[in-house]
Amino acid sequence: MPAKARRFTDVVARERARLGHFIRRQVRDAAEAEDILQDVLLEFYAAADAIEQAGAWLFRVARNRIIDRARKRKEEALPQGDADSGDDEGRSWLEDKLPDPAAGPEAAYARSVMLASIQAALQDLPAEQREVFLAHEIDGLSFAEMAERWQLPQNTLLARKRYAVLALRARLQAEYGDLIV
């Protein structure tokens, strides 16, 4: 067996389970997690000769792939509607940012820590933004329902939600780095 193939086999045998677990904790879809794992291993095979610290390199590349896929998915999922159409822009923002508790104890713990951070960040928001964010994300009210209830234009409510999301995203990125996009 050539040295490159032997090194690849040794590193994969040593790191595959940990790397797969790392990816699955952050990617809910099992097929997508497996795709990321395969992509990372293929990239490693192509560059194995030039990589000295294979374990660190694998995790860094996996993390970057997860972030890239999240960005791409976010770009594809941008809503095309406007406030007048009843489109609930950003409806699942909070749930999208939190790890799935079914992914294991580490994900459940990460979720609880992030929820505590979000709860603290919510207290720093202006009351109007916090109220719209909670009504939409937690209570599940549509922008049309909030507009009718509070006698405010939907665009005002959309703007308040947007500012709340931007502030929360900035706070979470400061705490958790690029894992929050």
Q: What is the pLDDT of residues 159-180, one digit of tens each?
A: 999 998 888 888 777 776 655 5
Domain boundary among 15, 41, 76: 76
The amino acid occupying position 7 is R
Question: What per-residue confidence (pLDDT) applies to 98?
Answer: 72
Nearest Cα to Cα of residue 181 among 100, 78, 71, 79: 71
72 and 101 part of one domain: no
Helix (H) or strand (E) holding 153: none
Q: Which residue matches tokens 């996996």?
A: 62
Handedness of CA 157, 163, 27, 4 (dihedral sign): positive
Domain containing 96 — which CATH number? 1.10.10.10
Residue 133: other Cβ atoms inside 10 A: 24
Between 103 and 62, residue with greater pLDDT = 62
Considering the domain architecture, whether residues 72 and 145 belong to the same structural domain is answered as: no
Flag whether pLDDT at 46 surpasses 80: yes
Shared-domain flag, residues 67 and 126: no
Task: Centre a 10 Å sphere on the Cβ of residue 169 and count the other Cβ atoms it contains.
Answer: 15
The CB-side HSE value for 112 (13 A sphere, CA atoms) comes to 6
* pLDDT 10s digits, 69-116: 777 766 554 443 333 333 444 435 566 667 777 777 777 777 777 778
Q: Pick the last residue of a domain from 41, 76, 111.
A: 76
Alpha carbons 99 and 26: distance in angstroms, whole number: 6
pLDDT of res. 158: 92
Same domain for 69 and 91, yes or no, is no
**pLDDT number for residue 2:** 77
Q: What is the mean pLDDT of residues 150-158?
A: 91
Structure tokens at 17: 């389970």
Q: 172 and 91: one domain?
A: yes
Q: Which residues contact 49 (CB under 8 A, 6 or more apart)?
A: 4
| Domain boundary pick from 76, 95, 119 | 76
What are the start-end ranges of the H helices in 3-142? 3-26, 30-47, 54-76, 93-97, 105-124, 127-137
Spatial CA neighbour of 163 closest among 125, 120, 137, 112 = 125
Q: What is the mean pLDDT of residues 49-75?
A: 81
On whether both 93 and 136 belong to a single domain, the answer is yes
- Tell me which residue range forms the domain holding 154: 83-179
64 and 114, same domain (yes or no): no
**How many domains does one find in the chain?**
2
